[in-house]
Amino acid sequence: MTWIITKYLLTAGMVVFISEVAKRSDRLGGFIAALPLMTLLTLVWLYVENQPEEKIANHAYYTFWYVIPTLPMFLLFPYLLPRLGFWLTMGASVMATVICFSLFTVLMKSFGINLV
């Protein structure tokens, strides 16, 4: 139980840290958020918990493919925010990401890469 609490605290601490940095500097906050810190932390957790190397490698592999269809959201969000407000922009961004992911999944399947 102590291990799970430690994982939660460290992982949540990263999110809090990034949001606090972003309050002070848009660029530095964005830079830190763009780093694959959560993925690296997840890989560490999997390794420390003695998961098989194949599972750890697969996590990194699929993370790469899942990042690609999320990228348009980072351009759509700042464009829509002044036009729609925060919550509508958030909803539109989520929907756009779901659509991009769905289309990307179909595209990648034609190359023999199954994402779902």
Given this model, what pLDDT does residue 55 score?
A: 97
Judge whether 98 lies within some domain. yes
Judge whether 72 lies within some domain. yes
Average pLDDT, the chain: 94
* Mean pLDDT of the 67-79 span: 96
Judge whether 66 lies within some domain. yes
pLDDT above 90 (res 1): no
Judge whether 49 lies within some domain. no
* Mean pLDDT of the 67-73 span: 95
Residue 71's domain spans which residues?
Answer: 56-116
Judge whether 107 lies within some domain. yes
Q: pLDDT exceeding 70 applies to what percent of the chain?
A: 100
Concatenating the DSSP letter of every residue in the chain gives: -HHHHHHHHHHHHHHHHHHHHHHH-HHHHHHHHHS-HHHHHHHHHHHHTT--HHHHHHHHHHHHHHHGGGHHHHHHHHHHHHHH-HHHHHHHHHHHHHHHHHHHHHHHHTTT----
Judge whether 105 lies within some domain. yes
Judge whether 99 lies within some domain. yes
pLDDT above 90 (res 35): no
Q: pLDDT exceeding 90 applies to what percent of the chain?
A: 78
